[in-house]
Amino acid sequence: MYKVLIVEDDPMVAMINEQYVRRNKQFSVVGVCKDGKSALDYLNENMVDLVVLDVFMPHTDGFETLRQIRKAKISTDVIMVTAANDRDSLEEALHLGIVDYLVKPFTFERFQIALEKFVVQIGALKQIETLNQKNIDFIIEHSRKKSEDILPKGIHEKTLILIITYLKECNEEWMTGDEIAEGIGLTGVTVRRYMNYLMESGKVIGEMNYETGGRPCMNYQLAN
């Protein structure tokens, strides 16, 4: 069983993340830290397979914590959890060698995708003594496919992230499927398919608008 440390200053979010981890039988939560300093103290004394690391925390933020983890050569993988969806933050996180990057608010299903990415990568590496290009290509490709397999047919991770990021940028305004489609350059049919999935997973709420003067349409908004 993989040992997980959760680093999150918001007690409610920490509790949700812990519940998400515990629902996957391959993982156990061995600790919860409210800031980067206490996390580093814990990691210096205890072996942990995976850290679920928030970015915005007092004293030592997630990026500085991750830099210190790498500088100290602490052997652990990291899933970054953040409200930041800007390119610079993502690039820095990737440069620091994260397993995945989750933008709040995220669904249970998306969290499980991140855990599965870790399982696939670490499992494949343990089984292979000598890496060659063929083995490396297999590990990376298999990890990507595993993520896609968790989502329903026709729903892809990158498109989900694109839609959710756009909705967040719109400051929680009610929007029609056509407005979302125009804003991110997708077809209306594609957006409606994704919005149906997001409503089923509880990440988006929908409300029928009958005051259009014509055919009623559905308005969407990110769930709180």
What DSSP string runs through 63-119?
A: HHHHHHHHHTT---EEEEEES---HHHHHHHHHTT-SEEEESS--HHHHHHHHHHHH
In this prediction, what percent of the chain has a pLDDT beyond 90? Answer: 38
Segment 173-196 mean pLDDT = 91
pLDDT at 89: 78
pLDDT tens string 18-41: 999 998 888 999 999 999 999 999
pLDDT at 85: 67
Segment 131-137 mean pLDDT = 64
Residues of the chain with CATH 1.10.10.10: 157-222
Segment 124-129 mean pLDDT = 54
Residues of the chain with CATH 3.40.50.2300: 2-105
Return the residue matching tokens 């928030």: 54
Pick the CATH number of 157-222 from 1.10.10.10, 1.10.260.40, 1.10.3720.10, 1.10.1040.10: 1.10.10.10
- Pair 114, 103: CB distance under 8 Å: no
Cβ neighbours around 82 below 10 Å, total: 20
Average pLDDT, the chain: 84
pLDDT tens string 70-107: 999 999 999 999 887 677 777 888 888 898 989 888 88
Please state which CATH number belongs to domain 2-105.
Answer: 3.40.50.2300
Nearest 5°: the CA angle 63, 42, 30 is 100
Which of 11-20, 139-148, 211-220 shows the lowest mean pLDDT across its residues? 139-148
